Amino acid sequence: MKKLFLASSFDGVASLLPGFIGEDLSGKKVAFIPTAGKLEENTFYVDADRKALEELGLIVEDLDVSSVLCDEAKDRINNSDYLFVCGGNTFFLLQELKRRGIDKLVIEHINKGKPYISTSAGSLIMQKKIINDNADRVEDAPDLKGDFSALSIIDFYIYVHYGHNYYGNDDECIDKYYSNLELIKINDKQVVTVTGEKVEVLSVG
């Protein structure tokens, strides 16, 4: 059964994770994929995500899928209890997952029931495709060659960081790029959870 915890910002909703997972997190291993932030100038959010996981008692094992050998990536994912994929450039993340075939491995583990936890770009790759709404630099992922098909784990779309207007007016962006799509908007204090076929939006505060 699929178990997805899809957030905008993990440290804002970390308190909801233990209840969603439904087991003691202490000592569990999480394969932590920071790759989406690799080309970003400021990656404070990666550090914040890592710290929030550690504060829950999880053992965080970094896995940059753009630089490790494929066999090593497979071993780390196979030996992890959970997967965590950070935010950053969604296109670059998707490119690196596809380039090494790790996208198929992630899909396999999700379908087997391994919990998948993510923020921002890591949440967006669960969609059928990535919408090129100018939020990320598509030129950082030339190997995609315009094919933005993603992992197709969910059949709806997510708009992350709603309310911050990072890339212009959020509502105008939604009207322009997402008007014909089934869309869930979440701010940094909300998370979309998927348990099997059940989809919920949970909020902190």
- Catalytic residues, which ones? 120, 161
Q: State the Cα–Cα distance between residues 108 and 125, nearest whole angstrom.
A: 15
User: What is the distance, to the nearest Å, from the Cα of residue 52 to the centroid of all Cα atoms in its chain?
Assistant: 15
Neighbouring C-alpha atoms within 13 Å toward the C-beta of 27 = 2
Contact between 121 and 90 under an 8 Å Cβ cutoff? The reply is yes
What burial letters (b/e) apply to 158-197, b meaning 16+ CB within 10 Å? Answer: bbbbbeeeeeeebeebbeebbeeeeebbbbbbbbbbbeee
Identify residue 150 by its one-letter amino acid code: A
Looking at residue 113, its amino acid is: G
C-alpha Rg value of the chain to the nearest Å: 16
